[in-house]
Every structure is written in C-alpha cells, then in structure tokens.
Chains A and B, each alone.
Chain A
Amino acid sequence: MTELAAQQFTVTRADLVRYAGASGDFNPIHWSERVATSVGLPGVIAHGMLTLALAARAVEEWAGGADRIVEFGAKFTKPVVVPDDDRGVVVEVTGSVSAEDDDRRTIAVKVTCEGVGVLGAMKAVVRA
C-alpha cells in the first residue's frame, strides 16, 4: 500500500463560528457549551462536516484536484471537542492507497484528533 503524506489542520472555536455561517449549520452544540453539555456531549464539538471537509482537503491534495473525487464519506465515530481557548485542537489526516486500477484509486483515510480516531470507515474513490 502506498502511504500518502500526513496533513494536519488546527480547529479553533472561531473556525466553528465561521463554518456555521458558511454552511448554514447553526446547531448550538457547535458554539454553546451549555447546550452541548445539556445533551450529554463533553463540550462544544466541531461540525462533523468541518472535520470531513478538512479530510477532503487532504484527499484533494493527494488526488491532484477536487474534481477527481468520485466518492467519499465517513462515519463520525468520536466528537472533536474544541476548547474555548486560542490554541484549539489539531486534526491529523493520513491515508494509504488500498486499491488501484487503470482509472480509479481507492484511498483509506484515517482522521485523528489528539491521537484518537474521530472518523470511521472513511474512504475516498478518486480518478487516477
């Protein structure tokens, strides 16, 4: 299997606010500690779609462009808890080519936050 270059992304509370505005997802679990903890979450969590978008940036880089992505997606297995500080958290994306033929490559993607897997069963199919 070909390993792809790991990529890291920092996520802060400000990023969550910006993503909420840009995506239209104003679910308060992504900006209110009070609401997040009231539904049993450990704290304010990143939008799963923000984490997936960061993983997609890594896939785009590996694939040589967003328009080469045919399929991709993941399960949101563990929340990315984003502290109320200026440092934020780091999300790391690693990948390896798990299958390849003449026109398609399948990339198995792993996404971790502070060493813990946060996306599951993530794969991307890209045009070779």
Chain B
Amino acid sequence: MPIDATLVGRKFPPTAPYEVTQVKVREFAEAIGATPADGVVPPTFPIVVAFAAMNDFLAEVEADLFRIVHGEQRFAYERPVRIGDVLSATLVVDSLRQIGGNDILGTTSLITAADGSVVCRTKSTLIHRAEA
C-alpha cells in the first residue's frame, strides 16, 4: 500500500518526554562497543528519541516496520545530549517519492530539551519497500 502523499508537510505532535538516564546511556554505549565514560552521551543516542517519533508516524500511516529500510540519517547538534536531559522529538514529513513501487520518505525531527531549546536536528530517509 503506497503511503499517502498528502502527508508531506505534516508535523506530528511531540513524542512523550524521554529522560536520558545514566543507565540507559551506559546500555547504549555498550551496545555500540564503546567504553562508557561518565557523562558522555554517544552522538547517535538521539536516535532513541527520533525512533519513537518514527514509530508514531508508522502507526499513523499503518506501515509495517519490517518493510522499512533506513536510507540516510544526518545529525546537526546545537549541543551534546547530557544525562538528565528530558528530550522530545517533533517529526515533520519533508518529502515523499515513489521509485519502483517503493516509497522514499524524507523526514526531519527536531530534538528539544524540556525548556524547549533545540538540542539537535536529525534528518532521516526511510524506504518503505513495496509488497512483493
């Protein structure tokens, strides 16, 4: 089922506030084979919050996660994520193209702290593979 083109330009509600804890950061650092240093949050950690926004989006468009392949991801930081931050992601659908029956979705998620300040912007391209 192709994804509805009228979604382009749509801004989704912010995800539920996510508290960045030392335990979670350590778990994430270990999962990427990094030596967890006190207070240092891996640069790709904001994907945890961005992924929550993407899941909300996929539920809305009734797309199956297993049909999604990641095409591109870019981060631009205003500041590093810190333990104790309470983050939220707001996803905007930038573009939608259809190539060979696959939907190519471009999204931007703004990752903000509890005071509303921007921590980072992350752009994602998702490929929704056509049913065979």
Which residues of chain A have a CB within 8 Å of any CB of chain B? 9, 15, 18-19, 21-29, 35, 38-41, 47-50, 52-54, 56-57, 59-60, 65-67, 69-76, 79
Contact = CB atoms under 8 A, between A and B. Distances in A.
18 contacts: A18-B30, A18-B31, A23-B48, A23-B51, A24-B51, A27-B68, A29-B66, A35-B66, A41-B69, A48-B70, A50-B31, A50-B32, A57-B42, A66-B43, A67-B80, A70-B76, A73-B74, A76-B73
A60 B37 CA distance: 13
B67 A71 contact: no
B20 to A, nearest CB: 13
Interface of B: 24, 27-28, 30-34, 40-44, 47-48, 51-52, 65-77, 80, 122-123, 125, 129, 132
Q: How would you classify the secondary structure of chain B's contact residues: helix, strand, loop or mixed?
A: mixed
A67 B72 CA distance: 22
Contacts of A26: 65
A54 B29 CA distance: 10
Contacts of A19: 31-32
A15 B34 CA distance: 12
A57 B33 contact: yes
Given A21-B31, A29-B66, A49-B47, 8 more contacts: A22-B28, A26-B65, A56-B43, A57-B34, A69-B77, A71-B75, A73-B72, A74-B72
Nearest to A68: B80
A69 B72 contact: no
List 3 tightest A-B contacts by C-beta distance, closest first: A73-B74, A22-B31, A48-B70
Contacts of A60: 43
Given A53-B42, A56-B42, A76-B72, A23 B28 contact: yes
Given A24-B48, A66-B43, A70-B77, A54 B32 contact: yes
Given A71-B76, A73-B74, A22 B66 contact: no
B33 A15 contact: yes
A28 B66 contact: yes
